[in-house]
A = this chain, B = another copy of it.
Amino acid sequence: MSTELTRQALSQLDAADPLTAFADRFILPEDTIYLDGNSLGALPKGAAERAAQVVSEEWGQGLIRSWNTAGWFDLPLKLGDKLGSLLGGKPNETAITDTTTLNLFKALASALRTQKTDAPQRRVILTERDNFPTDIYIAEGLADLVNSLSQETGVAYEVKLIDDEASLRAALDDSVAVVALSHVNYRTGAMWNMDEITAAIHASGALVIWDLAHAAGAVPVDLNAANADYAVGCTYKYLNGGPGSPAFIWVNARHHERFWQPLSGWWSHNKPFEMSQSYTPANDIRRFMCGTQPMTSLAMVEVGLDIALEADMAQVRAKSLELVDLFINLVETRCAGYGLELVTPREHAARGSHVSFRHEHGYEIIAALIDQGVIGDYREPEVLRFGITPLYLSRTDIWDAVEKLREILHTNAWQREEYAVRNAVT
């Protein structure tokens, strides 16, 4: 491949690619190569119009009537079913609601309560040391709440951290209630084998929660085929839902009626409009909802979802792997000798759809790149991170981005200038 690897050759491959046409479904700024769609996805055409419709027509003219006439009340489940069909979910197993962090709290609380009945000695939440930090914090928050309000002393709920597959398997003893893993790691892009790991966790008697924040819309996921228990994730990365758009929760139907989660707002009630003074949870995924959702932000999620549903996920995955391979190849050939060290696994099955490199001046290099119109991001420690989104990135984009990187490294531009970039949100 390396002898023929020219921008011209890549351009010809782009022209023959059935996914190339999807780039026209998104609006991106001029003179920009956007390699941060794993943090905040791009604006799909139609999203601005949908927001305007919600605000001016549904809110402005429909007013309170729009809860029924515009379908606001049912939107979290309608969109949930659309997303669920991308993730191997059955109808009524997925809701788009609240934030990833809150949905993880609901899943953890539900899993602990199920285990309290089935195996009360299981009081450990197992998660990854290298997980997105909020996933660790929320597990700590739940354990700490219960421990601190309990009157007992001694045995308590506990969060334990694992480092890799070997330490995960070693930790799966009969104290573990639930394991919360990120399917694709936010920093390195490393991906767990969902089927194998779910089976190993179940064999040990624990339940599993998958955080799909960096997986949904990026890699093939089949939650029911994997026999997973819970999944959460966000809609504003590879699903292009918009800044801070509501997150999702998927719960395997076998868990719906066992226990309710404690964030038991009225949208999770079996008959929310009866205004009953006592709580009766709904019998399906509605049980995992809480309160009123932000309709303008929520409605736009559908625009990105509809585009994702049109694309063939096998083609998306194949192109993602090809583009990441290309990025790695170009960095290792054209930027050789500048000290960039690949962090992401090379093996296809072991990685998601972003690629990361370590460099001692990673922060300054990313700042220089952003200044030059190549938008990646930086993650502690010393990691340059690039999101590869096959729906709106081409092979020539990857070529041009690495050329900018080479130029910045070659000219030491990152040393000469001061950049005031602050780390962006994942």
Contacts and interface: CB of A to CB of B under 8 A. Distances in A.
A423 B273 CA distance: 7
B295 A295 contact: no
Interface string A44-67: 000110011011101111011111
Contact of A102 (B54, B102, B145, B243): B102
A33 to B, nearest CB: 11
Interface stretch (A83-91, A128-136, A188-196): A128-136
A201 interface: no
Interface string A294-319: 11111010000000000000000000
A34 B161 CA distance: 55
A99 B297 contact: no
B59 A294 contact: no
Interface string A336-363: 0000000000000000000000000000
Interface stretch (A12-20, A168-176, A275-283, A395-403): A275-283
A112 B146 CA distance: 11
Interface stretch (A264-272, A326-334, A405-413): A264-272
A6 interface: no
Contact of A242 (B55, B100, B243): B55
Contacts of A58: 243
A275 B135 CA distance: 11
A59 B43 contact: yes
Contacts of A134: 265-266, 291
A158 interface: no
Contacts of A28: 60, 63
Given A120-B151, A296-B296, A370-B65, A243 B276 contact: no
A261 B279 CA distance: 23
A254 interface: no
A63 B150 contact: no
A294 B152 contact: no
Given A98-B102, A151-B150, A63 B296 contact: no
Contacts of A297: 294-298
A158 to B, nearest CB: 13
Contacts of A155: 151
A277 B133 contact: yes
Contacts of A264: 137-138, 140-141
Interface in A141-166: 141-142, 144-146, 148-152, 155, 157, 161
**Which range holds the interface residue count of chain A?**
35 or more
B244 A294 contact: yes
Contact of A425 (B73, B263, B296): B73
A150 B150 contact: yes
B296 A243 contact: yes
29 contacts: A36-B63, A40-B67, A43-B60, A59-B242, A59-B243, A64-B424, A67-B422, A67-B425, A68-B421, A98-B99, A100-B292, A101-B266, A102-B263, A112-B149, A129-B277, A133-B275, A136-B277, A137-B265, A142-B262, A149-B150, A150-B150, A187-B275, A234-B292, A244-B293, A247-B291, A274-B380, A292-B425, A294-B296, A296-B300
Interface of A: 27-29, 32, 34, 36, 39-40, 42-43, 47-48, 51-52, 54-56, 58-61, 63-68, 72-73, 98-102, 105, 109, 112-113, 116, 120, 129, 132-134, 136-138, 140-142, 144-146, 148-152, 155, 157, 161, 187, 234, 236, 242-247, 259-266, 268-269, 273-279, 290-298, 300, 370, 375, 377, 379-380, 421-425
Given A48-B55, A101-B291, 17 more contacts: A28-B60, A36-B63, A40-B63, A43-B55, A47-B55, A48-B56, A51-B55, A54-B243, A59-B243, A73-B425, A98-B102, A102-B291, A129-B277, A137-B279, A234-B292, A244-B294, A274-B380
